[in-house]
Amino acid sequence: MEFFLNLYEGFQAALGPQLLFYCAVGVTAGTAVGVLPGIGPLVAISVLFPITFHVPPDAAVILLAGIYFGAQYGGSTASILLNLPGTASNAVTCIDGYPMARDGRAGKALFMTTIASFFGGTVSLIALMIFTPLIVGIALKFGSPEYFALMVLGLIAAATLASSSPLRGIVMVVLGVLLSLVGTDVNTGAYRFTFGMSSLADGLGLVPLAMGLFGVAEVIERLVSGRVAGKPETVGLKSMLLTRDETRRTFMPMVRGSLCGIFSGILPGAGPSLGAFLAYGLEKRVSPNSANFGKGAIEGIAAPEAANNASVQAAFIPTLSLGIPGDAIMALILGALVVHGIQPGPNVIPQNPELFWSLVASFWIANILLLVLNFPLIGLWVKMLTIPYSILYPAVIMFICAGVFSLRLSGFDVLIVLLFGAVGYFFNLVRLPTAPLLLGFILGTPLEQHLRRAMIISRGDAWVFLERPISAVLLALSALLILGAMAAALIRLRRGGGMSRRDRVREN
Amino acid sequence: MNDEDDIGEGRGTMRHTGLWAGGMLIVVGIFALVVASGYTFGTPRRMGAGFFPVVLAVLLVLLGGALTVTARHELMPILLRLRPVVAILGSILTFALLIRPVGLLPTIIIAVILAALAEKGRRLWSVLALGAGVALVVAGIFVFGLNVPLPLFWW
C-alpha cells in the first residue's frame, strides 16, 4: 500500500506546474537533438546544464533525464529517413529502418519506433520502481571498503566495456580521478594542483570541463569532418498506422528488446548503444522472420528501439541507488544533484524519498509526453532535419559560453571550457575516450574519501578490502574484467596488429 | 562511409596516434608526480594530501607507457584542418575576454562572427542576423527567464 501512496504523492508533485514545465522542456529539447544528426544528448545536456543550477534538484534531474529519453525517441527519425543515425544508439535502427523508408513504409517505421520506445520505457520504469529500493536496502549496509570497491568496479567496468580499447579507457579514468584532485583537499585543507590561482581553489568545475570535452570538441570535430545530411521526404499521419499482424509480430521483439536494454542500462559502461546492438543480434537469431532482417523487417527496428530507451531509463537504477553512474550522461545527472548539495550514494532515497518518487512519476509523464510529441507532431521534426548546421553550431557555442559564465559570473570558467575544448579535440584525434575521464572526475573525490576512511578504520592494513566478503567479490570482479580485457588484447595482437583500418574509422 | 571516402581521397594523413596519446599521458603523469611530491605523503593509515595524487601519477605514467608500447605501430588516419579549430576556440576566447567589459549582446554578436569563420564563404549579413538572433535568445533565456544578472551592454 505504501508503494502506491508514494507513487500517488510522486504524481502529485510531478504534475505541479514547475516539474511539468521542465519535463516538457527536457523532452522537447531531447527529441530535437535526437532528430538532428551530429548533435547528441551529451551536447544538449552540456548546453542546458547551467540552467539546472537555477532550479530545484528534482526539476534539474527531470530536465536532463528528459533530454536523454527524448534523444532516444527522436534519434530514430534520421536513421529511418536519411540512413544517418540521429544519435549513436540509433545506428542499428538504420539497418532495417532505411530499407522500410525506401519501400514507402517510412511512416510505419517512425510509428513503430515511437511505440517501441514507449514500450521499452514502460517496462524499464517498472524495473526501476521495484529494484532501486531493494538495492538501496542492501547498499545501506555498505561501509567505506565496500564503497571503495564498488566505485573501482564501476570505473573499471565503464572503462573496459564501453570502448574497444580497455587500456585507453582505464588510463582516461586515472586521468579523470587526477583532475578531480585539483583544488582544496577536504581532509588536510592543503591546496593541490592550484598553481597559486585562487580561481582553482574550489577545483575544476564539472560544467566547464564537460562542456569543453563534449560540447566544444564535438562541434569542432563535426566542422573538421564536414559531414552534411540529405533531404528527407515528408511523412503523413495516415501512413503511420500499423496493421493488426504487424502489431502482433512486434510484441515479443519489444519484450526481448526491453530486457536487453534493462540489462545494458544497469551494467556500468554498457549503455543504450550496446543494448540496441544486443537486442538486434538476439532478434535476428530467434525471429521467425530473420531472413528479412536487413531488408526492412519491422521486428528489426522494434527490438533495438525498445532496448535503447529501456537502457537509458534503467541506467537510473545504479545511479540513484548506489551513486554509481554508468555513463557520462548519468555522471552529469549525478553532478546536478551534487550541485544542489545531495551527496550521491544509497542515502539519497532514504533521505529524500519524495525526490525519488517525484522522479519516477516524472519519468512516466516524460514517456507519455514523448508519445504525443513523436506521433501527431512527427511532421514538425521531419522539417527540422532541414535546418543547416551552419546556423546551429554558433548558437551551441554561445549557449555553452553564456551558460558557463552565468554560473559564477567568471570569465575564468569560460577559459576552462576553451582549454578542455582543445584538449577534448586532441583526445578525439588520438582516439582517447573522454567519457571514462568524466566518470573518473565525478567519482574521484568520493573514491579518495572512502579509501582514506577504510584505511583509518583498518589502521593502515590494506587487507581490509579482501577480508570483507562484499568488497572482496567486487574487487575480484574488477580484476577479472581487467584480465579478460588483457587476454582479448593479446589475442588481437597475435592475429596481426590490432583492429583493421575500417574498424577504426567506424569506431569514430 | 563518408569519412572513409574523404580519407581515401588523401585529405587525411596517417599518424602515430598511439605514440601521441601515450606520450602525452606520460608527460602529464610526470608533471603531476613532480608537483604532488611537494605535498605531505603521510602513511597508509594517515594519508597526507600527497598520497593519492602520487599513486595516481605513477599509475598514469605506467599505463601511458603501456599504451605507448602496445600501440607504437598503430597508424590512424587523421583529418587535420586548422580553420574550424582556430575559429571556434577564438570565438570562446573572445567571449571570455569581452563579456565583462562589453556586455552580453555585443559580445555574442562578435563571437558568432568569429565562429562563423569556421566555414568558408558565408555572407556577412546572414552571419550578423544569426548573431543578433542568438544574442536575443540567450538574453531571453538567461537574463529574463532565469534572472541571471548578466549585463546586456557595457553601460
What is the 3-state secondary structure of A228-293? Answer: CCCCCCCCCCHHHCCCHHHHHHHHHHHHHHHHHHHHHHHCCCCHHHHHHHHHHHHHHHHCCCHHHC
Residue A247 confidence (pLDDT): 83
Average pLDDT over residues A63-87: 85
Burial tier of A450 (Cβ tally within 10 Å: 0-12, 13-18, 19+): buried
Cell triple for residue B122? 558565408
**Contact with chain A for residue B12, Cβ under 8 A:** no
* Integer CA distances (angstroms), A175 to A38, A356, A374, A380, A481, in order: 27, 32, 40, 43, 20
In B47-86, the residues whose Cβ lies within 8 Å of chain A are 47-49, 52-53, 56-57, 59-60, 63-64, 66-67, 70-71, 73-74, 76-81, 84-85
Comparison of pLDDT for A417 and A242, the residue scoring more: A417
Q: How many CB pairs under 8 A join A and B?
A: 193
pLDDT band at A324 (very low <50, low <70, confident <90, very high): confident
Residue A257 confidence (pLDDT): 93
User: Do A106 and A233 contact (CB within 8 A), yes or no?
Assistant: yes
Average pLDDT over residues A279-296: 86
**Contact with chain B for residue A85, Cβ under 8 A:** no
Average pLDDT over residues A119-134: 92
Average pLDDT over residues B48-75: 90
Average pLDDT over residues A49-53: 83
Q: How far apart are CA B137 and CA A47, in angstroms?
A: 13
pLDDT band at B1 (very low <50, low <70, confident <90, very high): very low
**Contact with chain B for residue A486, Cβ under 8 A:** no
Is residue B8 scored above 50 in pLDDT? no
Average pLDDT over residues A275-302: 87
**Contact with chain B for residue A405, Cβ under 8 A:** yes
Nearest-by-Cβ selection for A398 from B59, B111, B122: B111
Q: Distance from CA of residue A501 to its chain's centroid?
A: 28
Residue A206 confidence (pLDDT): 83
Closest CA to B54 of B41, B66, B45: B41
Nearest-by-Cβ selection for B84 from A192, A220, A497: A220
Residue B87 confidence (pLDDT): 95
Nearest-by-Cβ selection for A397 from B32, B81, B88: B88
Cell triple for residue B40? 605531505
- Neighbouring residues of A496: CB distance < 8 A, sequence distance ≥ 6: none
Q: How far apart are CA A401 and CA A421, in angstroms?
A: 12
Residue of A nearest to B107 (CA): A398
Residue B18 confidence (pLDDT): 84
Is residue B39 scored above 50 in pLDDT? yes
Residue A174 to residue B59, Cβ atoms within 8 A: yes
Q: What percent of chain A has pLDDT over 70?
A: 94
Q: How far apart are CA A133 and CA A348, in angstroms?
A: 11
Residue of A nearest to B146 (CA): A54
Residue A175 confidence (pLDDT): 96
What are the extents of the domains in chain A? 2-230+237-507
Place of cell 527540422: A384
**Contact with chain B for residue A482, Cβ under 8 A:** no
Residue A226 confidence (pLDDT): 72
Residue-wise pLDDT for A449-491, tens only, equals: 889 999 988 888 888 888 898 899 989 999 998 898 888 878 8
Q: How far apart are CA A19 and CA A59, in angstroms?
A: 5
Least confident of A112-126, A244-258, B5-19: B5-19
In A141-200, the residues whose Cβ lies within 8 Å of chain B are 167-168, 170-171, 174-175, 177-178, 181, 185, 187-188, 190, 192-193
User: Do A319 and A334 contact (CB within 8 A), yes or no?
Assistant: yes
Average pLDDT over residues A118-147: 90
Closest CA to A185 of A206, A202, A207: A202
Strands A191-192 and A183-184, by their bridges, are antiparallel
In A409-468, the residues whose Cβ lies within 8 Å of chain B are 409, 411-412, 414-415, 417-418, 421-422, 425-426, 429-432, 448, 451-452, 455-456, 459-460, 462
Nearest-by-Cβ selection for A421 from B17, B92, B116: B92
Residue B12 confidence (pLDDT): 59
Alpha-carbon dihedral angle through residues A480, A481, A486, A487, given to the nearest 10 degrees: 60
User: Do B146 and A63 contact (CB within 8 A), yes or no?
Assistant: no
Residue A432 to residue B44, Cβ atoms within 8 A: no
Cβ density class B36-71: b for 16+ within 10 Å, e for less: beebeebeeeebbbbbbbbbbbbbbbebbeebbebb
**Contact with chain B for residue A503, Cβ under 8 A:** no
**Average pLDDT score, chain B:** 85
Q: Is A177 helix (H, G, I), strand (E, B) or coil?
A: helix
Q: How far apart are CA A184 and CA A175, in angstroms?
A: 18
- Neighbouring residues of A76: CB distance < 8 A, sequence distance ≥ 6: A34, A86, A90, A93, A97, A109, A110, A113, A117, A301, A305
Is residue A497 scored above 60 in pLDDT? no
| Beta pairing partners, B76 | B15
Greatest Cα pair distance in chain B: 66
Q: What percent of chain A has pLDDT over 90?
A: 24
Q: How crowded is the C-beta side of A257, counted as CA atoms within 13 Å?
A: 37
Is residue A347 scored above 90 in pLDDT? no
User: Do B26 and B67 contact (CB within 8 A), yes or no?
Assistant: no
User: Do A176 and A437 contact (CB within 8 A), yes or no?
Assistant: yes
Average pLDDT over residues A187-193: 87
Residue B7 confidence (pLDDT): 36
Rg (CA), chain A: 22
Average pLDDT over residues A297-312: 91
Angle at B31 between CA B30 and CA B36, to 5 degrees: 95
Place of cell 552571419: B127
Give B42 to chain A, closest Cα distance, Å.
Answer: 11
Place of cell 546586456: B152
* Stretch (H or E) spanning A365: helix A353-374
